[in-house]
Amino acid sequence: MLEKVDLKEKLALFDELWSPRIVGELNGQYVKLAKLEGEFVWHAHDHEDELFLVVKGSMTLHLRDRDVHLEEGQFFIVPAGVEHLPVADEECHVLLFEPQATTHTGSTPSERRVAVEDQARI
């Protein structure tokens, strides 16, 4: 069924941090929403690029060679294989594009990992 997606409405449906929600699919990719606050874990996705688009707030993607600060309306694509550490000093809402097989924390084991099959569709 074709329906428009209201990001504010979808973001109002959950409060959990670092727990992406699937809100759409296209061409083998998931469109996800997540709420971030604090520091995640250093990780990389060996075979997948990952797009972070800030919907509300701001965040920093620490890379091994530099930091990328993102404000509302800005995005950054982390290339496959690049280690990154997402950090948000205050709650930040992001939209993510990533292939459906992308593991939440890449090859890095973490108690924060949410398996793709456990990421709720909203």
Query: What pLDDT sits at residue 98?
Result: 87
- Looking at residue 105, its pLDDT comes to 56
pLDDT tens for the 122 residues of the chain, in order: 678 999 999 999 999 999 999 999 999 999 999 999 999 999 998 999 999 999 999 999 999 999 999 999 999 999 999 999 999 999 999 999 988 876 655 565 556 555 556 666 86
Cα R_g (the chain), whole angstroms: 13
- List of domains in the chain: 7-118 (2.60.120.10)
Whole-prediction pTM value? 0.84
Identify which of 53, 25, 41 has the alpha carbon closest to the alpha carbon of residue 114. 41
Taking CA atoms, 33 is separated from 58, 66, 81, 96, in Å, by: 15, 25, 22, 6
Q: Is residue 88 classed as helix, strand or coil in its secondary structure?
A: strand
